Structure 1
Amino acid sequence: MKQRVLPGLSLSLGVTLFYAALIIALPVLALVFKAASLGPAAYWQIVTSERALASYRVTALSALAATVFNFFFGLALAWVLVRYRFPGRRLLDAVVDLPFALPTAVAGIALTTLFAPGGWFGHVLDPLGIRVAYTPLGIMLAMCFTSLPFIVRTVQPVLEELDPALEEAGQSLGASDREIFTRVILPLLAPSILAGLSLSFARSLGEFGAIIFIAGNQPMSTEITALLVFIRLEEYEYQAAAAIASVLLITAFVMLALTNILQRRALRYMQRG
Protein backbone atom coordinates (compact mmCIF):
# COMPACT_ATOMS: atom_id res chain seq x y z
CA MET A 1 0.00 0.00 0.00
CA LYS A 2 1.40 3.37 -1.02
CA GLN A 3 1.97 5.63 1.97
CA ARG A 4 0.37 9.03 1.79
CA VAL A 5 2.55 12.09 1.75
CA LEU A 6 0.49 13.62 4.55
CA PRO A 7 -0.61 11.03 7.11
CA GLY A 8 -4.14 11.63 8.29
CA LEU A 9 -4.97 13.87 5.33
CA SER A 10 -8.72 13.29 5.57
CA LEU A 11 -8.83 14.18 9.26
CA SER A 12 -6.52 17.18 8.98
CA LEU A 13 -8.37 18.49 5.91
CA GLY A 14 -11.71 18.07 7.65
CA VAL A 15 -10.54 19.92 10.74
CA THR A 16 -9.06 22.69 8.60
CA LEU A 17 -12.23 23.16 6.56
CA PHE A 18 -14.40 23.07 9.69
CA TYR A 19 -12.23 25.71 11.35
CA ALA A 20 -12.23 27.90 8.23
CA ALA A 21 -16.01 27.63 7.93
CA LEU A 22 -16.63 28.32 11.63
CA ILE A 23 -14.14 31.15 12.18
CA ILE A 24 -13.95 32.80 8.75
CA ALA A 25 -16.81 31.88 6.44
CA LEU A 26 -19.73 32.07 8.88
CA PRO A 27 -19.00 35.60 10.20
CA VAL A 28 -18.43 36.88 6.67
CA LEU A 29 -21.64 35.29 5.39
CA ALA A 30 -23.57 36.64 8.36
CA LEU A 31 -22.28 40.13 7.57
CA VAL A 32 -23.19 39.79 3.90
CA PHE A 33 -26.69 38.49 4.59
CA LYS A 34 -27.35 41.19 7.20
CA ALA A 35 -26.30 43.91 4.79
CA ALA A 36 -28.25 42.31 1.91
CA SER A 37 -31.42 42.30 3.98
CA LEU A 38 -31.63 46.07 3.59
CA GLY A 39 -32.39 45.98 -0.10
CA PRO A 40 -30.42 47.80 -2.83
CA ALA A 41 -31.93 51.27 -2.32
CA ALA A 42 -31.55 51.34 1.47
CA TYR A 43 -28.10 49.80 1.28
CA TRP A 44 -26.90 52.40 -1.20
CA GLN A 45 -28.37 55.24 0.85
CA ILE A 46 -26.50 54.10 3.98
CA VAL A 47 -23.11 53.42 2.40
CA THR A 48 -23.17 56.69 0.42
CA SER A 49 -24.33 58.96 3.24
CA GLU A 50 -22.25 62.06 3.82
CA ARG A 51 -20.86 60.81 7.13
CA ALA A 52 -20.02 57.39 5.71
CA LEU A 53 -18.24 58.88 2.70
CA ALA A 54 -16.22 61.14 4.98
CA SER A 55 -15.18 58.15 7.09
CA TYR A 56 -14.13 56.25 3.94
CA ARG A 57 -12.01 59.19 2.87
CA VAL A 58 -10.31 59.55 6.25
CA THR A 59 -9.71 55.81 6.55
CA ALA A 60 -8.49 55.21 3.00
CA LEU A 61 -6.18 58.22 2.81
CA SER A 62 -4.70 57.53 6.24
CA ALA A 63 -4.20 53.85 5.40
CA LEU A 64 -2.57 54.76 2.09
CA ALA A 65 -0.21 57.24 3.77
CA ALA A 66 0.67 54.72 6.48
CA THR A 67 1.34 52.02 3.87
CA VAL A 68 3.60 54.29 1.83
CA PHE A 69 5.56 55.23 4.94
CA ASN A 70 5.83 51.60 6.01
CA PHE A 71 7.08 50.65 2.56
CA PHE A 72 10.17 52.81 2.89
CA PHE A 73 10.73 52.45 6.63
CA GLY A 74 9.84 48.75 6.74
CA LEU A 75 12.11 47.92 3.80
CA ALA A 76 14.96 49.87 5.39
CA LEU A 77 14.39 48.18 8.75
CA ALA A 78 14.35 44.71 7.19
CA TRP A 79 17.56 45.55 5.30
CA VAL A 80 19.32 46.68 8.48
CA LEU A 81 18.22 43.61 10.42
CA VAL A 82 19.45 41.25 7.70
CA ARG A 83 22.59 42.91 6.40
CA TYR A 84 24.18 44.38 9.53
CA ARG A 85 25.33 43.07 12.90
CA PHE A 86 25.30 45.51 15.81
CA PRO A 87 24.64 45.52 19.57
CA GLY A 88 20.93 45.31 20.31
CA ARG A 89 20.06 43.81 16.93
CA ARG A 90 18.14 40.90 18.44
CA LEU A 91 16.25 43.28 20.72
CA LEU A 92 15.31 45.46 17.76
CA ASP A 93 14.23 42.38 15.83
CA ALA A 94 11.98 41.35 18.73
CA VAL A 95 10.52 44.86 19.08
CA VAL A 96 9.25 44.65 15.48
CA ASP A 97 6.70 42.07 16.63
CA LEU A 98 5.51 44.24 19.53
CA PRO A 99 2.36 45.45 17.71
CA PHE A 100 1.32 41.80 17.32
CA ALA A 101 1.59 41.13 21.05
CA LEU A 102 0.47 44.48 22.44
CA PRO A 103 -3.30 45.07 22.72
CA THR A 104 -4.19 47.76 20.22
CA ALA A 105 -6.08 49.77 22.84
CA VAL A 106 -2.92 49.90 24.97
CA ALA A 107 -0.97 51.06 21.93
CA GLY A 108 -3.52 53.81 21.32
CA ILE A 109 -3.35 55.02 24.91
CA ALA A 110 0.46 55.01 24.82
CA LEU A 111 0.58 56.95 21.54
CA THR A 112 -1.94 59.48 22.84
CA THR A 113 0.08 59.94 26.03
CA LEU A 114 3.25 60.55 24.04
CA PHE A 115 1.83 62.84 21.34
CA ALA A 116 -0.88 64.76 23.18
CA PRO A 117 -0.07 68.48 23.58
CA GLY A 118 1.27 67.85 27.10
CA GLY A 119 2.99 64.55 26.26
CA TRP A 120 6.70 63.80 25.96
CA PHE A 121 6.75 64.40 22.20
CA GLY A 122 3.64 66.55 21.94
CA HIS A 123 4.97 69.41 24.06
CA VAL A 124 7.96 69.64 21.69
CA LEU A 125 5.97 69.36 18.46
CA ASP A 126 3.07 71.58 19.47
CA PRO A 127 5.08 74.86 19.61
CA LEU A 128 6.31 74.01 16.11
CA GLY A 129 2.74 73.89 14.85
CA ILE A 130 2.75 70.10 14.46
CA ARG A 131 -0.35 68.56 16.01
CA VAL A 132 -0.44 64.75 16.08
CA ALA A 133 -3.01 63.70 18.64
CA TYR A 134 -6.66 64.26 17.65
CA THR A 135 -5.74 64.90 14.01
CA PRO A 136 -5.51 62.77 10.84
CA LEU A 137 -1.75 62.64 11.47
CA GLY A 138 -2.45 60.73 14.68
CA ILE A 139 -4.56 58.23 12.74
CA MET A 140 -1.68 57.67 10.31
CA LEU A 141 0.74 57.22 13.20
CA ALA A 142 -1.44 54.57 14.83
CA MET A 143 -1.85 52.76 11.53
CA CYS A 144 1.90 52.83 10.92
CA PHE A 145 2.54 51.33 14.34
CA THR A 146 0.11 48.44 13.98
CA SER A 147 0.85 47.54 10.33
CA LEU A 148 4.64 47.92 10.13
CA PRO A 149 5.45 44.27 11.08
CA PHE A 150 3.60 42.95 8.03
CA ILE A 151 6.09 44.52 5.65
CA VAL A 152 9.18 43.75 7.71
CA ARG A 153 8.26 40.10 8.28
CA THR A 154 7.37 39.44 4.64
CA VAL A 155 10.51 41.05 3.21
CA GLN A 156 13.02 39.90 5.83
CA PRO A 157 13.00 36.14 5.02
CA VAL A 158 13.42 36.82 1.30
CA LEU A 159 16.36 39.11 1.97
CA GLU A 160 17.98 36.43 4.10
CA GLU A 161 17.68 33.88 1.28
CA LEU A 162 19.09 36.10 -1.48
CA ASP A 163 22.20 34.67 -3.09
CA PRO A 164 25.18 37.04 -2.50
CA ALA A 165 26.60 35.84 -5.84
CA LEU A 166 23.97 37.94 -7.62
CA GLU A 167 25.29 41.13 -6.08
CA GLU A 168 28.88 40.07 -6.67
CA ALA A 169 28.09 39.46 -10.33
CA GLY A 170 26.63 42.94 -10.60
CA GLN A 171 29.71 44.46 -8.99
CA SER A 172 32.00 42.54 -11.33
CA LEU A 173 30.10 43.98 -14.29
CA GLY A 174 30.67 47.50 -12.99
CA ALA A 175 27.17 48.23 -11.67
CA SER A 176 26.82 50.79 -8.90
CA ASP A 177 25.21 49.99 -5.55
CA ARG A 178 22.07 51.82 -6.63
CA GLU A 179 21.85 49.86 -9.87
CA ILE A 180 22.39 46.57 -8.05
CA PHE A 181 19.61 47.39 -5.63
CA THR A 182 17.09 48.63 -8.22
CA ARG A 183 17.82 46.09 -10.98
CA VAL A 184 18.86 42.97 -9.06
CA ILE A 185 17.58 43.02 -5.49
CA LEU A 186 14.33 44.98 -5.77
CA PRO A 187 12.80 42.81 -8.53
CA LEU A 188 13.48 39.70 -6.42
CA LEU A 189 11.79 41.34 -3.45
CA ALA A 190 8.78 42.51 -5.47
CA PRO A 191 6.40 39.61 -4.64
CA SER A 192 7.11 39.80 -0.92
CA ILE A 193 6.85 43.59 -0.94
CA LEU A 194 3.46 43.40 -2.64
CA ALA A 195 2.26 40.88 -0.08
CA GLY A 196 3.47 43.06 2.79
CA LEU A 197 1.91 46.19 1.34
CA SER A 198 -1.48 44.54 0.84
CA LEU A 199 -1.49 43.10 4.36
CA SER A 200 -0.37 46.43 5.81
CA PHE A 201 -3.09 48.34 3.94
CA ALA A 202 -5.79 45.83 4.86
CA ARG A 203 -4.76 45.94 8.53
CA SER A 204 -4.83 49.74 8.49
CA LEU A 205 -8.33 49.78 6.97
CA GLY A 206 -9.72 47.65 9.79
CA GLU A 207 -7.71 49.04 12.71
CA PHE A 208 -9.83 50.28 15.59
CA GLY A 209 -8.35 50.08 19.09
CA ALA A 210 -5.12 51.95 18.43
CA ILE A 211 -6.90 54.75 16.58
CA ILE A 212 -9.92 55.73 18.65
CA PHE A 213 -7.84 57.12 21.51
CA ILE A 214 -5.58 59.30 19.37
CA ALA A 215 -7.94 60.30 16.56
CA GLY A 216 -10.33 62.60 18.40
CA ASN A 217 -13.21 60.86 16.57
CA GLN A 218 -14.75 64.01 15.13
CA PRO A 219 -17.40 63.20 12.47
CA MET A 220 -16.45 64.39 8.99
CA SER A 221 -12.89 65.02 10.15
CA THR A 222 -11.17 62.29 12.18
CA GLU A 223 -13.83 59.58 12.34
CA ILE A 224 -12.72 56.29 10.80
CA THR A 225 -15.08 53.76 9.24
CA ALA A 226 -14.51 51.12 11.92
CA LEU A 227 -15.62 53.63 14.58
CA LEU A 228 -18.73 54.52 12.58
CA VAL A 229 -19.60 50.81 12.45
CA PHE A 230 -19.17 50.63 16.23
CA ILE A 231 -21.40 53.69 16.72
CA ARG A 232 -24.14 52.14 14.60
CA LEU A 233 -23.93 48.97 16.67
CA GLU A 234 -24.30 50.98 19.88
CA GLU A 235 -27.39 52.59 18.35
CA TYR A 236 -28.78 49.09 17.61
CA GLU A 237 -28.72 49.83 13.88
CA TYR A 238 -27.29 46.42 13.03
CA GLN A 239 -28.18 46.51 9.35
CA ALA A 240 -26.54 49.90 8.88
CA ALA A 241 -23.44 48.68 10.72
CA ALA A 242 -23.29 45.59 8.49
CA ALA A 243 -23.70 47.71 5.36
CA ILE A 244 -20.85 50.06 6.25
CA ALA A 245 -18.65 47.15 7.38
CA SER A 246 -19.28 45.40 4.06
CA VAL A 247 -17.59 48.31 2.29
CA LEU A 248 -14.41 47.63 4.26
CA LEU A 249 -14.77 43.91 3.55
CA ILE A 250 -15.16 44.44 -0.18
CA THR A 251 -12.21 46.85 -0.26
CA ALA A 252 -9.97 44.39 1.57
CA PHE A 253 -10.96 41.54 -0.75
CA VAL A 254 -10.33 43.63 -3.86
CA MET A 255 -6.93 44.70 -2.53
CA LEU A 256 -5.90 41.13 -1.77
CA ALA A 257 -7.15 39.90 -5.16
CA LEU A 258 -5.22 42.60 -7.04
CA THR A 259 -2.13 41.85 -4.98
CA ASN A 260 -2.34 38.14 -5.81
CA ILE A 261 -2.62 38.95 -9.51
CA LEU A 262 0.40 41.27 -9.35
CA GLN A 263 2.38 38.69 -7.39
CA ARG A 264 1.71 35.98 -9.96
CA ARG A 265 2.76 38.31 -12.77
CA ALA A 266 5.93 39.25 -10.89
CA LEU A 267 6.78 35.58 -10.31
CA ARG A 268 6.19 34.73 -13.98
CA TYR A 269 8.41 37.65 -15.00
CA MET A 270 11.17 36.46 -12.67
CA GLN A 271 10.91 32.90 -13.99
CA ARG A 272 11.16 34.08 -17.60
CA GLY A 273 14.18 36.15 -16.61
Structure 2
Amino acid sequence: MFSAKKTSIFPGFGLSLGYTIVYLSLIVLIPLSAVIIKSTSMTLPAFFDAVTAPRVLASYRLSFGMALLAGLINTFFGLLLAWSLVRYTFIGKNLIDALIDLPFALPTAVTGIALAALYSKNGWIGSSIEPLGIKIAFTPWGVLIALIFIGLPFVVRTVQPILEEIELELEEAAASLGASRWQTFKRVVFPILTPALLTGFALAFARAVGEYGSVIFIAGNIPMVSEITPLMIITKLEQYDYAGATAIASVMLLISLLLLFAINGLQSWTAKRTGRSR
Protein backbone atom coordinates (compact mmCIF):
# COMPACT_ATOMS: atom_id res chain seq x y z
CA MET A 1 0.00 0.00 0.00
CA PHE A 2 1.46 3.32 -1.07
CA SER A 3 0.94 6.51 0.89
CA ALA A 4 1.19 9.91 -0.68
CA LYS A 5 3.78 12.12 0.87
CA LYS A 6 2.48 15.51 1.83
CA THR A 7 4.57 18.15 0.16
CA SER A 8 4.80 21.84 0.81
CA ILE A 9 4.32 24.47 -1.85
CA PHE A 10 7.51 26.04 -0.53
CA PRO A 11 10.51 23.86 -1.45
CA GLY A 12 13.57 23.50 0.74
CA PHE A 13 11.82 23.98 4.08
CA GLY A 14 14.20 21.71 5.96
CA LEU A 15 17.29 23.44 4.57
CA SER A 16 15.84 26.90 5.20
CA LEU A 17 14.87 26.03 8.77
CA GLY A 18 18.27 24.50 9.47
CA TYR A 19 20.07 27.55 8.07
CA THR A 20 17.85 29.84 10.14
CA ILE A 21 18.54 27.97 13.37
CA VAL A 22 22.30 27.86 12.75
CA TYR A 23 22.43 31.55 11.83
CA LEU A 24 20.33 32.54 14.85
CA SER A 25 22.52 30.45 17.12
CA LEU A 26 25.76 31.96 15.84
CA ILE A 27 24.57 35.56 15.91
CA VAL A 28 22.28 35.63 18.97
CA LEU A 29 22.02 32.52 21.12
CA ILE A 30 25.69 31.54 21.49
CA PRO A 31 26.93 35.07 22.44
CA LEU A 32 24.11 35.46 24.96
CA SER A 33 24.81 32.01 26.37
CA ALA A 34 28.48 32.92 26.72
CA VAL A 35 27.53 35.93 28.86
CA ILE A 36 25.43 33.79 31.18
CA ILE A 37 28.02 30.99 31.37
CA LYS A 38 30.78 33.47 32.20
CA SER A 39 28.73 34.92 35.05
CA THR A 40 28.32 31.44 36.57
CA SER A 41 32.06 31.39 37.30
CA MET A 42 31.26 33.58 40.32
CA THR A 43 29.98 32.18 43.57
CA LEU A 44 26.36 32.97 44.38
CA PRO A 45 27.21 35.50 47.15
CA ALA A 46 29.74 37.23 44.87
CA PHE A 47 27.18 37.33 42.04
CA PHE A 48 24.54 38.77 44.35
CA ASP A 49 26.95 41.41 45.67
CA ALA A 50 27.97 42.40 42.13
CA VAL A 51 24.45 42.88 40.82
CA THR A 52 22.95 44.50 43.93
CA ALA A 53 25.63 47.06 44.76
CA PRO A 54 24.01 50.48 45.40
CA ARG A 55 25.74 52.03 42.40
CA VAL A 56 24.56 49.21 40.13
CA LEU A 57 20.98 49.36 41.42
CA ALA A 58 20.93 53.10 40.76
CA SER A 59 22.05 52.44 37.18
CA TYR A 60 19.25 49.87 36.74
CA ARG A 61 16.66 52.40 37.89
CA LEU A 62 18.03 55.04 35.55
CA SER A 63 18.44 52.83 32.48
CA PHE A 64 15.13 50.97 32.65
CA GLY A 65 13.14 53.85 34.10
CA MET A 66 14.24 56.33 31.45
CA ALA A 67 13.91 53.70 28.70
CA LEU A 68 10.28 53.06 29.69
CA LEU A 69 9.53 56.78 29.95
CA ALA A 70 11.20 57.52 26.62
CA GLY A 71 9.27 54.66 25.01
CA LEU A 72 5.95 56.03 26.27
CA ILE A 73 6.76 59.56 25.11
CA ASN A 74 7.88 58.30 21.71
CA THR A 75 4.71 56.20 21.38
CA PHE A 76 2.51 59.26 21.89
CA PHE A 77 4.43 61.73 19.76
CA GLY A 78 5.36 59.09 17.20
CA LEU A 79 1.67 58.45 16.64
CA LEU A 80 1.02 62.18 16.18
CA LEU A 81 3.91 62.50 13.75
CA ALA A 82 2.91 59.43 11.74
CA TRP A 83 -0.69 60.67 11.64
CA SER A 84 0.42 64.04 10.30
CA LEU A 85 2.60 62.49 7.61
CA VAL A 86 -0.12 60.10 6.43
CA ARG A 87 -3.28 62.19 6.72
CA TYR A 88 -2.12 65.68 5.77
CA THR A 89 -0.27 67.42 2.97
CA PHE A 90 1.88 70.41 3.89
CA ILE A 91 5.01 72.26 2.82
CA GLY A 92 8.18 70.42 3.89
CA LYS A 93 6.43 67.09 4.40
CA ASN A 94 9.06 65.11 2.45
CA LEU A 95 11.86 66.82 4.36
CA ILE A 96 10.33 65.95 7.73
CA ASP A 97 9.72 62.39 6.55
CA ALA A 98 13.41 62.09 5.65
CA LEU A 99 14.63 63.69 8.89
CA ILE A 100 12.81 61.05 10.95
CA ASP A 101 15.41 58.50 9.86
CA LEU A 102 18.32 60.76 10.85
CA PRO A 103 18.92 58.98 14.21
CA PHE A 104 19.42 55.76 12.23
CA ALA A 105 22.14 57.32 10.09
CA LEU A 106 24.00 59.38 12.69
CA PRO A 107 26.79 57.70 14.68
CA THR A 108 25.75 57.57 18.32
CA ALA A 109 28.81 59.56 19.39
CA VAL A 110 27.84 62.38 17.02
CA THR A 111 24.33 62.37 18.49
CA GLY A 112 25.67 62.58 22.03
CA ILE A 113 28.08 65.42 21.23
CA ALA A 114 25.36 67.36 19.40
CA LEU A 115 22.89 67.01 22.27
CA ALA A 116 25.51 67.95 24.85
CA ALA A 117 26.42 71.03 22.81
CA LEU A 118 22.75 72.06 22.61
CA TYR A 119 21.77 71.49 26.25
CA SER A 120 24.98 72.34 28.08
CA LYS A 121 25.28 75.58 30.03
CA ASN A 122 26.78 77.39 27.06
CA GLY A 123 24.66 75.65 24.41
CA TRP A 124 21.91 77.20 22.31
CA ILE A 125 19.11 75.71 24.39
CA GLY A 126 20.92 75.26 27.70
CA SER A 127 21.95 78.91 27.93
CA SER A 128 18.27 79.89 27.69
CA ILE A 129 16.73 77.42 30.11
CA GLU A 130 19.39 77.11 32.82
CA PRO A 131 18.78 80.69 34.10
CA LEU A 132 15.19 79.51 34.67
CA GLY A 133 16.44 76.70 36.91
CA ILE A 134 16.02 73.98 34.27
CA LYS A 135 19.12 71.87 33.78
CA ILE A 136 19.18 69.13 31.14
CA ALA A 137 22.80 68.31 30.39
CA PHE A 138 24.63 66.07 32.87
CA THR A 139 21.40 65.07 34.62
CA PRO A 140 18.97 62.14 34.21
CA TRP A 141 16.85 64.42 32.01
CA GLY A 142 19.72 64.51 29.55
CA VAL A 143 19.56 60.72 29.40
CA LEU A 144 15.83 60.96 28.65
CA ILE A 145 16.38 63.48 25.83
CA ALA A 146 18.98 61.22 24.20
CA LEU A 147 16.75 58.14 24.45
CA ILE A 148 13.78 60.00 22.97
CA PHE A 149 15.94 61.16 20.06
CA ILE A 150 17.19 57.71 19.14
CA GLY A 151 13.86 55.91 19.73
CA LEU A 152 11.36 58.08 17.86
CA PRO A 153 11.96 56.59 14.36
CA PHE A 154 11.06 53.09 15.58
CA VAL A 155 7.55 54.16 16.51
CA VAL A 156 6.93 56.33 13.45
CA ARG A 157 8.14 53.73 10.95
CA THR A 158 6.10 51.00 12.65
CA VAL A 159 2.83 52.93 12.84
CA GLN A 160 3.05 54.76 9.51
CA PRO A 161 2.42 51.74 7.21
CA ILE A 162 -0.57 50.62 9.29
CA LEU A 163 -2.09 54.09 9.08
CA GLU A 164 -1.65 54.06 5.32
CA GLU A 165 -3.53 50.75 5.10
CA ILE A 166 -6.56 51.92 7.10
CA GLU A 167 -9.41 52.56 4.71
CA LEU A 168 -11.01 55.97 5.08
CA GLU A 169 -14.36 54.32 4.38
CA LEU A 170 -14.28 52.89 7.91
CA GLU A 171 -14.06 56.35 9.42
CA GLU A 172 -16.68 57.70 7.02
CA ALA A 173 -19.04 54.88 7.98
CA ALA A 174 -18.56 55.64 11.68
CA ALA A 175 -19.20 59.34 11.03
CA SER A 176 -22.35 58.53 9.06
CA LEU A 177 -23.62 56.58 12.07
CA GLY A 178 -23.25 59.64 14.25
CA ALA A 179 -19.83 59.03 15.83
CA SER A 180 -17.74 62.06 16.68
CA ARG A 181 -14.11 62.34 15.57
CA TRP A 182 -12.90 61.24 19.01
CA GLN A 183 -15.30 58.27 19.08
CA THR A 184 -14.20 57.27 15.58
CA PHE A 185 -10.56 57.36 16.59
CA LYS A 186 -11.17 55.55 19.89
CA ARG A 187 -13.41 52.77 18.56
CA VAL A 188 -12.28 52.36 14.95
CA VAL A 189 -8.73 53.61 14.38
CA PHE A 190 -7.00 53.09 17.72
CA PRO A 191 -7.81 49.34 18.06
CA ILE A 192 -6.25 48.77 14.64
CA LEU A 193 -3.16 50.79 15.56
CA THR A 194 -2.64 49.27 19.02
CA PRO A 195 -0.52 46.25 17.95
CA ALA A 196 1.69 48.52 15.85
CA LEU A 197 2.02 51.00 18.71
CA LEU A 198 3.05 48.21 21.07
CA THR A 199 5.60 46.98 18.53
CA GLY A 200 7.02 50.48 18.12
CA PHE A 201 7.16 50.91 21.88
CA ALA A 202 8.98 47.57 22.29
CA LEU A 203 11.54 48.48 19.62
CA ALA A 204 12.12 51.95 21.06
CA PHE A 205 12.43 50.53 24.58
CA ALA A 206 14.87 47.81 23.52
CA ARG A 207 17.06 50.32 21.71
CA ALA A 208 16.96 52.73 24.67
CA VAL A 209 17.94 50.11 27.26
CA GLY A 210 21.17 49.24 25.47
CA GLU A 211 22.04 52.74 24.23
CA TYR A 212 25.53 53.89 25.17
CA GLY A 213 27.22 56.26 22.74
CA SER A 214 24.62 59.01 22.58
CA VAL A 215 24.01 58.96 26.34
CA ILE A 216 27.45 59.15 27.90
CA PHE A 217 28.22 62.60 26.47
CA ILE A 218 25.08 64.31 27.76
CA ALA A 219 24.57 62.26 30.93
CA GLY A 220 27.74 63.35 32.69
CA ASN A 221 28.10 59.84 34.13
CA ILE A 222 27.79 60.96 37.75
CA PRO A 223 27.65 57.90 40.05
CA MET A 224 24.24 57.33 41.64
CA VAL A 225 22.80 60.17 39.55
CA SER A 226 23.30 59.86 35.79
CA GLU A 227 25.28 56.66 35.35
CA ILE A 228 23.63 54.11 33.02
CA THR A 229 23.99 50.34 33.25
CA PRO A 230 25.92 49.92 29.96
CA LEU A 231 28.51 52.33 31.37
CA MET A 232 28.75 50.19 34.52
CA ILE A 233 29.51 47.18 32.31
CA ILE A 234 32.20 49.12 30.43
CA THR A 235 33.69 50.27 33.73
CA LYS A 236 33.89 46.68 34.98
CA LEU A 237 35.57 45.60 31.76
CA GLU A 238 38.14 48.39 32.04
CA GLN A 239 38.91 47.13 35.52
CA TYR A 240 39.35 43.59 34.09
CA ASP A 241 36.42 42.42 36.20
CA TYR A 242 34.94 40.30 33.42
CA ALA A 243 32.84 38.17 35.76
CA GLY A 244 31.31 41.27 37.35
CA ALA A 245 30.59 42.76 33.93
CA THR A 246 28.86 39.61 32.70
CA ALA A 247 26.89 39.35 35.95
CA ILE A 248 25.43 42.84 35.45
CA ALA A 249 24.87 42.06 31.78
CA SER A 250 23.00 38.86 32.69
CA VAL A 251 20.62 40.71 34.99
CA MET A 252 20.09 43.39 32.36
CA LEU A 253 19.41 40.70 29.77
CA LEU A 254 16.93 38.90 32.01
CA ILE A 255 14.97 42.06 32.84
CA SER A 256 14.90 43.11 29.19
CA LEU A 257 13.65 39.69 28.06
CA LEU A 258 10.90 39.62 30.68
CA LEU A 259 9.69 43.09 29.69
CA LEU A 260 9.82 42.30 25.98
CA PHE A 261 7.96 39.01 26.47
CA ALA A 262 5.30 40.86 28.44
CA ILE A 263 4.96 43.47 25.69
CA ASN A 264 4.87 40.78 23.01
CA GLY A 265 2.16 38.88 24.89
CA LEU A 266 0.12 42.05 25.27
CA GLN A 267 0.57 42.76 21.58
CA SER A 268 -0.64 39.26 20.59
CA TRP A 269 -3.63 39.52 22.93
CA THR A 270 -4.54 42.91 21.48
CA ALA A 271 -4.17 41.67 17.92
CA LYS A 272 -6.53 38.75 18.60
CA ARG A 273 -9.11 41.02 20.22
CA THR A 274 -9.08 43.36 17.24
CA GLY A 275 -9.19 40.51 14.72
CA ARG A 276 -5.71 41.25 13.35
CA SER A 277 -3.93 38.02 14.28
CA ARG A 278 -0.21 37.97 13.73
Q: Look up the match of 1:44.
A: 48
Cα displacement string for residues 186-224 of structure 1 (whole angstroms, at most 9, x for unaligned residues): 111111111111111121111100000000000000000
Instruction: Say whether residues 1:58 and 2:39 are aligned partners.
Output: no
Query: Structure 1, unaligned stretches of length 5 or more?
Result: none
Name which of structure 1's ranges 263-272 and 154-163 shifts more when overlaid on structure 2.
Answer: 263-272
Task: State the distance in 1 between where 2:10 and 2:246 align.
Answer: 40
Does the Cα contact within 8 Å between 1:206 and 1:248 map onto a contact in 2?
no
Q: Look up the match of 2:206.
A: 202
Instruction: Say whether residues 1:181 and 2:185 are aligned partners.
Output: yes
Give the superposition deviation at 1:25: 1.0
* Percent of aligned pairs sharing the same letter: 50
Instruction: Say whether residues 1:262 and 2:266 are aligned partners.
Output: yes
Give the superposition deviation at 1:89: 1.4
Cα displacement string for residues 40-99 of structure 1 (whole angstroms, at most 9, x for unaligned residues): 222111111111111111112211221121121111011111111122212211211111
Task: State the distance in 1 between where 2:56 and 2:167 align.
Answer: 49
Instruction: Say whether residues 1:131 and 2:139 are aligned partners.
Output: no
Give the superposition deviation at 1:122: 1.1
Task: State the distance in 1 between where 2:43 and 2:190 align.
Answer: 47
TM-score by length of 2: 0.93
Match of 2:237 among 219, 222, 233: 233
Give the superposition deviation at 1:168: 0.6
Task: State the distance in 2 between where 1:252 and 1:39 align.
Answer: 24
Q: What is the one-letter code of the residue matched to 1:140?
A: L
Instruction: Say whether residues 1:93 and 2:136 are aligned partners.
Output: no
Instruction: Say whether residues 1:102 and 2:116 are aligned partners.
Output: no
Task: State how 1:72-91 maps to structure 2 within 5 Å.
Answer: 72-91=76-95
Name which of structure 1's ranges 146-155 and 8-17 shifts more when overlaid on structure 2.
Answer: 8-17
Instruction: Say whether residues 1:165 and 2:148 are aligned partners.
Output: no
Task: State the distance in 2 between where 1:93 and 1:27 align.
Answer: 36
Task: State the distance in 2 between where 1:5 and 1:85 align.
Answer: 43
Instruction: Say whether residues 1:247 and 2:248 are aligned partners.
Output: no
Q: Look up the match of 1:24.
A: 28
TM-score by length of 1: 0.95
Task: State the distance in 2 between where 1:184 and 1:40 align.
Answer: 52
Give the superposition deviation at 1:125: 1.3
Give the superposition deviation at 1:18: 2.4
Task: State the distance in 1 between where 2:201 and 2:239 align.
Answer: 34
Q: What is the one-letter code of the residue matched to 1:187?
A: P
Instruction: Give the match's secondary structure for 2:275.
Output: helix
Task: State the distance in 2 between where 1:184 and 1:203 align.
Answer: 30
Task: State the distance in 2 between where 1:11 and 1:258 align.
Answer: 32
Query: Structure 2, unaligned stretches of length 5 or more?
Result: none
Does the Cα contact within 8 Å between 1:125 and 1:131 map onto a contact in 2?
yes
Instruction: Give the match's secondary structure for 1:180.
Output: helix
Give the root-mean-square deviation of aligned CA atoms. Answer: 1.7
Task: State the distance in 2 between where 1:172 and 1:189 align.
Answer: 22
Give the superposition deviation at 1:35: 1.3
Q: Look up the match of 2:122.
A: 118
Q: Look up the match of 2:146.
A: 142
> What is the aligned residue count?
272
Task: State the distance in 2 between where 1:215 and 1:146 align.
Answer: 15
Q: What is the one-letter code of the residue matched to 2:145?
A: L
Task: State the distance in 2 between where 1:86 and 1:11 align.
Answer: 49
